[in-house]
Amino acid sequence: MRRSILDDVDDHPADDDERPPANWAVALSDDCDACGMGEPRVVLTLESVGAAGSGVVAHLAPANARRLREAIALALREIGEPVD
């Protein structure tokens, strides 16, 4: 099983030579041999815009995906943004 959830581009300006825009994608998968076939994972991919297939892919078990969600929520609170 492989299912795309959402993908987008970060908010970096396209003309920033030092930090080019990045694309992020979140998906679901249960086909990671090294992770244990059949075990569902949240797949997080980060790569430079226009460089498909050259990024970093993280296969997160549910517990690690929750930790990432908590970290993002904490960061949002730190900058005064509401968290649902």
Q: Please indicate, yes or no, if residue 44 is contained in any of the structural domains.
A: yes
Residues 47 and 21 sit within 8 Å (Cβ to Cβ) = no
pLDDT tens-digit profile of 42-79? 999 999 888 888 899 999 999 999 999 999 999 999 99
Dihedral pair phi/psi, residue 26, rounded to 5°: -120, 135
Q: Please indicate, yes or no, if residue 10 is contained in any of the structural domains.
A: yes
- For the whole model, what pTM was predicted? 0.85
Token pair belonging to 48: 């430079």
pLDDT tops 80 at residue 26: yes
Q: Please indicate, yes or no, if residue 25 is contained in any of the structural domains.
A: yes
What range defines the domain where residue 66 resides?
2-78
Q: Please indicate, yes or no, if residue 35 is contained in any of the structural domains.
A: yes
pLDDT tops 80 at residue 36: no
How many domains, the chain?
A: 1
Residues 34 and 15 sit within 8 Å (Cβ to Cβ) = no
Q: Please indicate, yes or no, if residue 68 is contained in any of the structural domains.
A: yes
